Amino acid sequence: MKNEYLPYPARIKSIQRESFDTRTFKVVFVDEKLAKSFNYKPGQFMEISLLGIGESPISITSSPSGKGYLEFTIRTMGKLTRAINQLNAGAILYLRGPYGNSFPLEEARTKNLYFIAGGIGLPPLRSVINSAFDHRVNFGKVKILYGAKSPDELCFKEELKVWQNLTNTELLLTVDVPDKDWKGNVGVVTTLWDKTDMDGNRGIAYVCGPPIMIKFVVQKLLKSQFKERNIYISLERYMKCGLGKCGHCNIGGKFVCTDGPVFTYQQIKQFPDKERAI
């Protein structure tokens, strides 16, 4: 029997600043065999820890085609995330996982893909976005709608430019509070609906962001004819184990950590209202 609670050391190879409170870490397992054999799917997460400080679930933001390393984008929220964001390249993180289900892409073959992210919701979507780009011919149009509080808080600024220039791909950005250089849209993510054509008939939507954003995005998606089962949402819940044991992430009879974190809206609709899945 494997000890699922035991984390494995991984070294930080490089760090990319995303914004004042968010950085992206490229890490490699210290154990070379593990680094080589490690597999995951887009949308899965790892439990990341610093010994003596704590452990938290963090989505894998790299895509599985990038072999031998993992990337995580981490925003400072509390004790552990602050400590991680103070580390330098060469430091060790402790990882266990991967956990959870994933964003399915097989079902989306030949369809148009719509990715809708708010704030720190883009990192998990980035994994599936890049997986889709790795197999670009399989899909129709790709649209990425992404909103952040301010221009500085947009993650992956360089990569956004790359995505923008890909054929048959549209990237729409928005911020709540613009700075003097910002020329794009201002307002919450749903205001982007006026800027582009959102057609759910041949579309699959992938959504991640704060609960309030998800709620409004789903309403918009349904209006745009997206089917409930074609809307995939990654939920966030307080998590302690990632194994379906500690109980913290439960919603109704499900565990977000093992049954999710990705659910279709059709599934989410069946959760009792009082459990406030979104």
Partner 1 sequence: MKDFLLKKDKIKNLLISASEEWDTFVPWKDLGEDLQFVKLPGAGKEDFLNKLSLEYGSPLIPPKTIAFPQLELLFEFEEGKIKEKVPPPTKKLLFGLRACDVKAILFVDDFFRRNFEDIYYLNRTMDKLLVLVGCKTPPRDCFCTSTKTGPFLPVPRSLGEVRKEGFDLQLVDIGDSYLVEIGSEKGKEFIESYKSFFEVASKKEVELSKDAKKRAEEAITLKVDFEKAVKNFCEDKVSRKVYEKIAERCIYCGGCLYVCPTCTCFNVFDGKKGKRGERSRNWDACVFEGYTREASGHNPRPEKWQRTSRRYEHKLKYDYLTTGMSGCVGCGRCLATCPVNIGISQVIEEVAKNEKRISSLSGKD
Ligand X SMILES: Cc1cc2nc3c(=O)[nH]c(=O)nc-3n(C[C@H](O)[C@H](O)[C@H](O)COP(=O)(O)OP(=O)(O)OC[C@H]3O[C@@H](n4cnc5c(N)ncnc54)[C@H](O)[C@@H]3O)c2cc1C
Point out the annotated binding site for [2Fe-2S] cluster.
241, 246, 249, 257
Interatomic CA distance for residues 61 and 230, integer angstroms: 22
Give rounded-to-5 percent helix, strand, coil for the chain: 30, 30, 40
Is 190 an interacting residue with respect to ligand X (CB under 6 A)?
no
Is 54 an interacting residue with respect to ligand FES (CB under 6 A)?
no
DSSP 62-91: S-TTSTT-EEEEEE--SHHHHHHHT--TT-
Residue 42: DSSP 8-state? T
* Partner residues linked to 24 by β-bridges: 16, 73
- Least distance to ligand X, CB of residue 211, Å: 11
> Per the structure block, which two tokens stand in for 118?
């708010």
Helix axes 122-134, 157-164, angle to 10 degrees: 40
Task: With CB under 6 A as the rule, give the number of residues binding ligand X.
Answer: 24
> Distances from the Cα of 265 to the Cαs of 81, 214, 218, 269, in angstroms?
30, 10, 8, 6
Based on CB atoms, which residue is closest to ligand FES, 223 or 245?
A: 245
Interatomic CA distance for residues 127 and 125, integer angstroms: 5
Which one of residues 17, 36, 67, 79 is an interface residue with ligand X (CB under 6 A)? Answer: 79
In Å, the largest CA–CA distance within the chain is 58
Which one of residues 238, 252, 275, 276 is an interface residue with ligand X (CB under 6 A)? Answer: 238
Q: Site map for ligand FES, 215-254, x if CB under 6 A? A: ------------------------xxxx-xxxxxx-----
Tell me the three state secondary structure of residue 136. Answer: helix
Is 253 an interacting residue with respect to partner 1 (CB under 8 A)?
yes
- Least distance to partner 1, CB of residue 247, Å: 4
Task: With CB under 8 A as the rule, give the number of residues binding partner 1.
Answer: 43
Q: Site map for partner 1, 108-147, x if CB under 8 A? A: ----------------------------------------
Is 237 an interacting residue with respect to ligand X (CB under 6 A)?
yes
Is 195 an interacting residue with respect to ligand X (CB under 6 A)?
no
Q: Which residues bind partner 1 (CB under 8 A)?
A: 1-7, 9, 49, 51-56, 77-78, 81, 92, 94, 210-211, 236-238, 240-241, 243-248, 250-253, 258, 272, 274-277
